[in-house]
Amino acid sequence: MAGPRAGAGILGRGREVWSTRSAVRHGVVAVGALLVMIGLLTAASDYQATVLTDLAYLAIAGGGLTVLTGLNGQISLGHGALMAFGAYATALLLPDREAGTPLLVVVLVAVAASSVVGLLVGLAAARLRGPYLAGATLALAVAVPGLPLYFKDVLADGEERLPAVMPEIPIWATDTAFYLTGADPSPSKYIAFCAGVLLIVTFWFLANLARSRVGRRWAAVRDDEVAAELAGIHLGRSRVSAFVVSAAAAGAAGSVLAVKSRGVSPESFTLDLSLTLLAAVVIGGLGSLTGALLGSAVLVAMDQVVDDAGIALGLSQIQAAELAPLVYGAVLVAVILLAPRGLTGSVQALRRRRTAAPAAPAPRDRTRGSAAADPPADGFAPADTTADTTADTTTDTTTDTVPSGAASTPPGPTTRTPRGTP
Amino acid sequence: MQQLTNTLLGGLTLGLVFAAFALALVLIWRSTRVVNFAQAPMAMLTTYVALTLLDDGLPYWVAMLAALACGLVLGAVVEVLLVRRVSHTVEINPVILTLGLFIVFHAVAALVFGNQPRSFPAPFGIRGLSVGGQTIGVTGTDLFAVVAVLVVMGALVALFTLTDLGLRMRAAAFNSEVARMLGVRVGAMLTLGWALAALVGSVSGILIANGSLVSPNYMDSVVVFGFVAAVLGGLESPVGAVVGGLVLGVSVSVVSGYLSSQLVALAALAILMLVLSLRPGGLFSTPAARRV
């Protein structure tokens, strides 16, 4: 992850990027998460540790996608492709056991590699929106797996698969683990631990960034381009910076994926991966990092449960593996039709409806009121900001007053937006 | 020289099929403001229907007609059950809806028909025709594709310009409020538009499958090519979609003939980015005024 100083160049002046208060507050949460993770890993079996690693890389990439799509309003169907760059950088740095590159360096290089690609894509994408952007990133997702195939002679001596060998577990890590748990850490647990730390650091970084002025700019650009531009925000710069940060997270996720599966091959980074990421983020609730984590957890859990259920129903192993995408695709469709704000958004709306029911003030006051519980509320109060936008756009386009708490109910067929060519 | 001619001819044939696919995307975009990313898997499903019927020993034409009918029904069902109910307040909601369908259809195909590629028969053989004693790189099946696409396009033009129904569909797409006041059943017209688009998509699905392999993701690259073709034309213009399809078909054919087939999607991406950075609305678009 690019540190605050490195980020300052792309993202604006240093003091705007970082708010010490939220950094400390998020830091407390991060330390808590670290403790929970250590507890989980101690109790987990080796297999469960690999499942947790899956969760970690999905959530890291999902966090990046949340920043881009939820916070900045740019959709990307190409995050799987961005992960590929991080993963290949990782595999190139870890060709065998003797490579000896520290994992931290590996991750940083992977992040840098995908950030550079993210910068290029972001520059090209800054002018596109909606379906155009979706299509362009879709093309990216389909095009990138062809690259390692074309360059396989250079990359992997003609093989399709490029191995990534995890370096030896450092002595201090073995010692600490032994001291804490009374057993030597297995390689998969060590990978899961590193992935978890990376997840926590990434989320801490993204949460701070989103709370900072940069994050507010991203949200402003998403909510109203014209107003943002009038307020002196450079639209292009804001969009590109969101893309770079998002791609950096994807690179870190790719690094985890490469180490976890002990190698990379083009078929790991197909369109399916990108769509899985999008599904995780949307199901969890677009625009909230908690949502990205929850959505990834839902997908990983669903994979396990549905697989078992499929085999119990008498499907073959291969067929059962297809059952999970069927279920999460259907869930994705249902979420976007019935609760477009996902898990976190719906829970928040429900809670708010309950608290707001007796007083029932005007909708705008209500959103402000609930947000005011959190002093610097215009930052990354994810669901709050999305609630604001939905409420605002609805009032703007339909001139109806929005009944309190109605933001989560999708408008029926009668409120179709004007269609056809003007 | 001969290789160049063959590459170009092959590219034009391929381009016509892309054009048909792009035309279906444009049809849906104009009427419902949705880019149907699920169109490729929908076409894939109907192609599997045709393949199953062919394996059961039915003649090619029966199988093809059955697939087209399935496409028609599938398109209508998707519109009535899902697309009609998605909220357009956030621009990316419809995009995510069609992507969800993409995942679902893929999984359904893999569950029902299996992941293994299966070969699809060619109706007119896959040997190059001979013209003046020389074999050229155009097969009978290619000619069939060209004729089929031209027939579909002609039928669409006739529908939209000559018939009362086409006029009503255009009215519904142009301004649904006014059309409704004038007595057009807008909902039915939009459903019909989706059904027709899915039918055109199924045609291109079968044309691409002819004489090659079918697997749940054999259309994945086509969704990119079709989308790029449609965007080259500006997503709004049927003529643009056809021109875009031809341009893309030729470029794809040249890249895969002279460089490598693995770079084809990358070439499409490069063309897309080039065009969009010069004209963000596509080649055939009129710059839109933005109200501030």
pLDDT tens sequence across B210-219: 888 898 888 8
Put simply, the answer to whether A130 touches B30 (Cβ < 8 Å) is no
Pair of tokens at residue A310: 């499929």
On whether the CB atoms of residues B234 and B284 are closer than 8 A, the answer is yes
Q: Which pLDDT belongs to residue A147?
A: 87
Q: Does B172 touch chain A (CB under 8 A)?
A: yes
The whole-number pLDDT of residue B223 equals: 86
Contacts of A127 in chain B (CB under 8 A): 276-277, 280
B228–A326 C-beta distance less than 8 A: no
Work out how many domains chain A is built from and give that number: 1
Tell me, what's the pLDDT at B192?
92
Cα separation, A67 vs B163, whole angstroms: 49
Share of chain A above pLDDT 70, in %: 79
* Beta-carbon separation of B100 and A333 below 8 A: yes
Q: What is the pLDDT at residue A391? A: 38
Domain assignment present for residue A311? The answer is no
The structure tokens listed for B183 are 């007595």
B32 touching A, CB under 8 A?
A: yes
Ranked by mean pLDDT, the top range of A149-153, A356-360, B101-105, B219-223 is: B101-105
Cβ within 8 Å, pair B90-A393: yes
- Count the helix, strand and coil residues of chain B and give each as a percent rounded to the nearest 5: 70, 5, 25
The residue in chain A having the minimum alpha-carbon distance to the alpha carbon of residue B274 is A124
The ipTM (two decimal places) reads 0.87
Q: Given CB atoms, is B29 within the 8 Å cutoff of chain A?
A: yes
Q: Give the distance, in angstroms, between the CA of residue B176 and the centroid of all CA atoms in the same chain.
A: 25
pLDDT score of A367 more than 50:
no
In a domain? residue A237: yes
For the residues A162-172, what does the mean pLDDT come to?
82
- Minimum-distance CB partner of B32 among A134, A139, A419: A419
Q: In the beta sheet, which residues pair with residue B213?
A: B119
Alpha-carbon distance of B13 to B263, in angstroms, equals 20
Quick: pLDDT tens for A295-333: 999 999 988 888 888 888 877 777 778 888 899 899 999
- The number of C-alpha atoms within 13 Å of A50 and in the hemisphere containing its C-beta is 11
Residue A127 and residue B266: Cβ atoms within 8 Å? no
CB atoms within 10 A of CB A360: 12
Neighboring chain B residues of A421 at a CB cutoff of 8 Å: 30, 173-174, 236
What average pLDDT does the segment A141-167 reach?
82
CA distance B133 to chain A (A): 37
Is A350 part of any domain? no
Asked whether the predicted pLDDT for residue A112 surpasses 70, the reply is: yes
- Within 8 A of A283 by CB-CB distance, chain B residues are none
Phi, psi of A163 (to 5 degrees): -75, 150
A-B contacts at Cβ under 8 angstroms: 181
Q: Cα separation of A15 and A25, whole Å?
A: 17
Contact A132 B110 (CB under 8 A): no
pLDDT given for residue B175 in this prediction: 85
pLDDT tier at A17 (50, 70, 90 boundaries)? low
Report the C-alpha gap between A200 and B164 in whole angstroms. 62
Question: Does residue A128 lie in a domain region?
Answer: yes
Chain A residues inside the 8 Å CB shell of B85:
337, 410, 412-413
pLDDT tops 50 at residue A401: no
**A75 to B115: CB separation less than 8 angstroms, yes or no:** no
Cα–Cα nearest to A414, from B187, B92, B169, B170: B187
B115 has a chain A CB within 8 A of its CB: yes
Chain B: residue whose CA lies nearest to A420: B174
Of how many residues is chain A composed?
A: 422
Q: How far apart are CA B71 and CA A420, in angstroms?
A: 24
A73 neighbourhood in chain B, CB within 8 Å = 92
- Residue B269 at interface with chain A, using a CB cutoff of 8 Å: yes
**Helix axes A20-43 and A171-181, enclosed angle (nearest 10):** 70
The structural domains of chain B, with segments of one domain joined by +, span 17-125+137-228
pLDDT at A22: 80
Q: Is residue A366 one of the residues assigned to a domain?
A: no
* Token couple for A384: 């709050």
What is d(CA A269, CA B213) in angstroms, rounded to the nearest whole number?
A: 22
For residues A352 and A345, give the distance between their C-alpha atoms in angstroms, rounded to a whole number.
10
Residue B130 contacts A, CB cutoff 8 Å: no
Is A89:A316 a contact under the CB 8 Å cutoff?
no
Answer yes or no: do A140 and B280 touch at CB < 8 A: no
Asked if B226 and B20 count as a contact pair (C-beta separation under 8 A), the reply is no
At A96, list the tokens: 């065998």
**Structural domain contains residue A134:** yes
Residue in chain B closest to A330 (alpha carbons) equals: B104
Picking from B107, B265, B277, the nearest residue to A142 by CB comes out as B265
Whether residue A313 is contained in a domain is answered as: no
Domain for residue A376, yes or no?
Answer: no
Record: contact A278-B115, CB cut-off 8 A: no
pLDDT at A5: 44
pTM over 0.90: no
Q: What is the CA radius of gyration of chain B?
A: 19
Which positions 51-80 of B are in contact with A (Cβ < 8 Å)?
A: none
Residue A86 has pLDDT above 90, yes or no: yes
Range of the structural domain that residue A156 is part of? 4-270
How far apart are the C-alpha atoms of A193 and A405, rounded to whole Å? 41
CA distance A171 to chain B (A): 44
Whether the Cβ atoms of residue A82 and residue A118 lie closer than 8 Å to each other: yes
pLDDT in tens, A178-229: 887 777 778 888 889 899 999 999 999 999 998 888 889 999 988 888 898 8
**Could you give phi then psi for residue A263, rounded to 5 degrees?**
155, 165
With tokens 């029911």, the residue in question is: A357
**Chain B residues 237-266 with a CB less than 8 Å from chain A:** 260, 262-266
State mean pLDDT over A411-415: 40
User: What is the pLDDT at residue A404?
Assistant: 39
The partner residues of A263 in beta bridges, in order of sequence, read A163
Tens-level pLDDT at each residue, chain B (292 residues): 778 888 888 889 889 999 999 999 998 888 888 889 999 999 999 999 999 999 998 998 899 999 999 999 999 999 999 988 887 777 788 888 999 999 999 999 998 898 888 988 888 776 766 766 677 767 878 888 889 999 999 999 899 889 999 899 888 888 888 989 998 898 899 999 999 999 999 999 999 998 888 988 888 888 889 888 988 887 888 888 899 999 999 999 999 888 888 888 888 888 888 888 887 777 776 666 655 5
| Chain A interface includes B103 (CB < 8 A) | yes
User: Contact A330/B104, CB-based, under 8 Å?
Assistant: yes
A184 contacts A279 by C-beta, under 8 angstroms: no
- Which pLDDT belongs to residue A7? 42
As a whole number, mean pLDDT of residues A227-232 equals: 89
DSSP state of A3: -
Minimum-distance CB partner of B87 among A124, A130, A410: A410
